[in-house]
Amino acid sequence: MPKRTMTISRLWFHEFRKPSMVQDLPLLPDGRDLIDVFEAHANLAKSSSLVRNRNETYAVVTNVDRDDRALTVTFRSGRFGEDGEITDVGSGASRGTFRRTDATTVITHGVLLVPRSGTSALAFTERSGGFGGMSHLVETFNEWFDGVFHDHRMKRDTVVQSDAWLKRADLMKVTGTIRKHKSDIATDGQDEVLGTLKHVIEPGGREKYFPRRLRDRLMENKINRNKFLAFDESDVVDEIDITLGDGDQEKTFEIDDEKTPTLRLVLTKSGESPLSAEKVKKRAMSEAADIFAHYDVEWVSS
């Protein structure tokens, strides 16, 4: 099973052309509750697929479950845009073909948490292969909102790096992963994954954490990661995971190679079974209190 990660977004709205005029939730400008309207929007998506041609992604809602102020949405989501062949990875035998308009889909989940008062809601997106249907559902909801309420604008911000827990946590471990392919060592042109190579770095001696300066430079992509992880400069590192801790709990994030890296919570590692919808919801709710507190919002789970 591929690795599953989760990204977190903050939803909020303001008066048109007045971003400082942040409005109170959960009520929308017409007096309806955000979670009620979003639930209706999600149910409508059951009968119409969510297609984004610009990045060739597809999703369709298969289930919507409401639990007080938490809404869990299940999707079949994936990517399309290439012609290809389905191959049995064990025998190498062809099992069929797919076209550019065929999407290979898997089950992913999303969770929306809307407090009873405050200025922010949180949307959690489970991702497989870097994509999850919740991000597209939130995007279409925001487009609907802006089209209906012309005097207001709905916004979505990535909030993981603003998490209060993240700011106080220290770096405990760094893991770099490279996937080795048959084409790396053979001349038959096959590009199947032969295995994975992992380099793990932990503090030496009795130290439990790396220096804070190293943590910050690694997260801000201001360090040569190949050299730090003892890979060759020519190697392409497929994944970099960092484990952080604050003395009470530990969390693992995947970081990308952008100038300002995005941090993704790791839900399951490669080879592990994906979480159920209920477990994804519980993980989202376990993260919620700290993040809401950063925005001066009180979150009380049911």
Residues 6+ apart with CB under 8 A from 209: 170, 171, 172, 203, 245
pLDDT score at 185: 53
DSSP letter assigned to residue 224: -
**Per-residue pLDDT averaged across 61-68, rounded?**
97
pLDDT winner (highest mean) among 26-35, 158-167, 252-261? 26-35
How many angstroms separate the Cα of 81 from the Cα of each of 54, 139, 216, 275?
10, 21, 37, 28
302 pLDDT tier (thresholds 50, 70, 90): low
CA 126/CA 75 separation, integer angstroms: 10
CA 282/CA 74 separation, integer angstroms: 14
CA 156/CA 14 separation, integer angstroms: 11
pLDDT tens digit sequence for 226-253 = 999 999 988 888 889 999 998 888 888 8
Domain boundaries, the chain: 4-162, 170-245
pTM passes above 0.75: yes
pLDDT score at 276: 96
Query: Could you tell me if 302 and 68 are in contact, meaning their C-beta atoms sit under 8 angstroms apart?
Result: yes
